[in-house]
Amino acid sequence: MRGFLASSIGVATAAALALPLVLPTPALAAASPAAAAAAVTPAGSTQSLPLAPIGPATADRTPGVPGMSASPRLPETRGLAARDVTTFSLVGVVWDDVATQLHGRVQVRTRSTATAAWSDWQDVETHNSEHAADPDAVERGSGRIRGATAPLWVGESDGIEVRVQAEPGADTATRTPGRLPSGLRIELVDPGLSSPGRGADGKNGRPEDDDKGEMVVPGMTMEMAESSAANVPHAQLGANEIIALDKADSTADAVFASDGTLSEAAAAYVGPRPRIVTRKGWGADESLREPGFVYTNRVKAAFVHHSASGNNYACKDAPAVLRSLYRYHVVSSGWRDFGYNFAVDKCGTVYEGRAGGVSKAVLGAHTMGFNTDSMGIAVIGTYTSTAPPQPALDAVARLTAWKLGLFGADPRAKATLKSGGGNRFPKGQSVKLNVISGHRDGFATECPGKRLYAALPPTRTAAAKLQGRP
């Protein structure tokens, strides 16, 4: 098996390096609902449509008085008139420069394919740059990173209308209008209809020997094998899930997976491993991400987020939401992979996020400035005014008890992390944070929402109890 892992990962990485960079799908022309429905593909798709100026560009001038205006110039407004489009389920707005903030309001209306009815105007959260790679991370060197709003899950839709208005300019004396970032585009993401690589019966593929004596799984690409192999020995190659273990078995599994490097003292506080749906299980298209994995030294802290994508999803749709978020992160925003290390839906199911192995210290793009030596957990939904469901909180406690326990971290303790640069702590500053922190602890943001953030203290206590700490 070890020979297979070495050869397969090497082959997969070499092959993937030869592939061109994945760029957003070019804008599609408006289509009829019937044509839109016919265009949906199992692998998913992204429509990227430019936003044009709408409304008056300047205020009315006072008649007969050159150069004098009756009122201040209006803030810049861009948008898209209501139109038919290819079927999609998630929306977001992106722009050219990741360093530029969008100060304004983004709203969308969508038309449901099920009812043919248009929704009311919905707000899209604009402060999303904090969910990103650190300034000096490998992702920043790709030249593909874009500014982006939070994504919004709207369900299967075939019509879209958009309006984006800048905040009024601060200089009232000169009547400077608010401006928007350049290159604004609406991204319409279809998650696809099925899970790539899953067997025809919907169950785990069974490894088989090929003519060279190496283990293979029918239907798996090299990229899928690379991602799946990172979770061996916790699950067999091609598994759709990693099964839950009790505390005793989790300790033994952790010691075995670490090749004996996990100390006895640390192993005593490894929490029970939760059931984790793998990337293959939720249908991640492994051809989208960049090849290979990037690791840090250890996991000293966990940052809890909300996806800010809304709560209008059923738990059975969570894999589709994840596929959409994944495409939005990689294809639309230009990240190398899914931003978070894990995701949790409102029914308490835990999902593998960024590829590289669920028990390993995989570098994510979730908390700008503090991605190194940490992990990011996104609870799918928006929890500013809505209370997070208890099953989701229980899942966060189980996940942190297990994963932090692998690295000897007490969920009730503090950890010192070095800032990689952000809007709250300058680059290089050592910062003491809770081992289980909210996103806002490391970056000035509302994430993970007021209600989820308030639930973190009892979650720390629950995670420590699961670890068996006094």
Neighbours of 40 (CB within 10 A): 20
Instruction: Report how far residue 380's alpha carbon sits from residue 398's, in angstroms, rounded to the nearest whole number.
Output: 17
pLDDT top residue among 412 and 67: 412
Q: How confident is the model at residue 469 (pLDDT cuts 50, 70, 90)?
A: very high
pTM of the model: 0.83
Both tokens of 405, joined, read 């326990």
3-state secondary structure of 188: strand
Contacts of 112 (CB under 8 A, 6+ apart): 119, 155, 156, 157
pLDDT top residue among 71 and 435: 435
Q: How confident is the model at residue 133 (pLDDT cuts 50, 70, 90)?
A: low
Instruction: Report how far residue 78's alpha carbon sits from residue 91's, in angstroms, rounded to the nearest whole number.
Output: 16
**Chain segment 219-238, per-residue pLDDT in tens:** 789 999 999 999 999 999 99
> For 166, what's the count of Cα atoms within 13 Å in the CB-facing half-sphere?
24
Give me the mean pLDDT over the 397-401 stretch: 98
Nearest 5°: the CA angle 198, 202, 207 is: 55
The answer to whether residue 71 scores a pLDDT higher than 50 is no
pLDDT for res 143: 60
3-state secondary structure of 139: helix
pLDDT for res 130: 55
pLDDT for res 216: 52
pLDDT top residue among 458 and 27: 458
Both tokens of 76, joined, read 């810049």
Terminal-to-terminal C-alpha distance of the chain: 40
pLDDT for res 220: 86
Nearest 5°: the CA angle 174, 70, 68 is: 65
Instruction: Report how far residue 166's alpha carbon sits from residue 76's, in angstroms, rounded to the nearest whole number.
Output: 6
Neighbours of 21 (CB within 10 A): 9
3-state secondary structure of 459: helix
Surface-to-core class of residue 353, CB atoms within 10 Å of its CB (0-12 exposed, 13-18 middle, 19+ buried): buried
Contact 137, 363 (CB under 8 A): yes
Look at strands 414-418 and 342-344 and give their pairing: unpaired
Q: How confident is the model at residue 322 (pLDDT cuts 50, 70, 90)?
A: very high
Both tokens of 179, joined, read 């401006």
Q: What is the DSSP letter of 425?
A: S
User: Mean pLDDT lowest for which of 30-44, 52-66, 166-180, 392-406?
Assistant: 30-44
Q: How confident is the model at residue 425 (pLDDT cuts 50, 70, 90)?
A: confident
In the chain, % of residues over pLDDT 90 = 64
Distance from CA of residue 54 to its chain's centroid?
A: 31
DSSP state letters, 190-205: E--SS-TT--TTSSPP
Q: At what angle do helices 222-229 and 2-17 cross, to 10 degrees?
A: 130
Neighbours of 173 (CB within 10 A): 5
Instruction: Report how far residue 383's alpha carbon sits from residue 125's, in angstroms, rounded to the nearest whole number.
Output: 12
Q: How confident is the model at residue 259 (pLDDT cuts 50, 70, 90)?
A: low
pLDDT for res 444: 85
User: Mean pLDDT lowest for which of 140-144, 239-243, 263-267, 453-457?
Assistant: 140-144
**Chain segment 267-283, per-residue pLDDT in tens:** 889 999 999 999 999 99
Look at strands 241-242 and 276-277 and give their pairing: antiparallel
Please, what is the average pLDDT of the chain? 82
**Chain segment 330-382, per-residue pLDDT in tens:** 999 999 999 999 999 999 999 999 999 999 999 999 988 899 999 999 999 99
In the chain, % of residues over pLDDT 70 = 75
Contact 342, 332 (CB under 8 A): no
